[in-house]
Amino acid sequence: MKQNENLEIDFFVGIDMSKDKFDVGVMDKSGVRIGHKKFNNNDLGFEELFTWLSNSLKTDKLF
């Protein structure tokens, strides 16, 4: 099987990183905005990001 065969993309995530914080925006494949949130740029911020994405997207398969 080829690497991208059967790959289905349902959501797009954009991340704007800075030294102290990062902003995350999510939209679905039709361009509808799902949400936006700011996080601290540290280990806890990344944990909060994955929790927020899992809850917002109602999925446990992020990657």
For position 23, what pLDDT does the model report?
98
Give the predicted TM-score (pTM) of the model.
0.76
Sign of CA dihedral 6, 51, 45, 17: positive
Looking at per-residue pLDDT, the higher value among 59 and 1 belongs to 59
Mean pLDDT of 24-49: 95
Please report, for the chain, the start and end positions of each structural domain, with discontinuous segments joined by +: 11-57
State the DSSP H helix or E strand holding residue 57, giving kind and residue range, or none if neither. helix 43-57
Q: pLDDT tens digits for 37-56? A: 999 999 999 999 999 988 88
For position 11, what pLDDT does the model report?
87
Measured between alpha carbons, how far is 26 from 33 in angstroms, rounded to an integer? Answer: 6
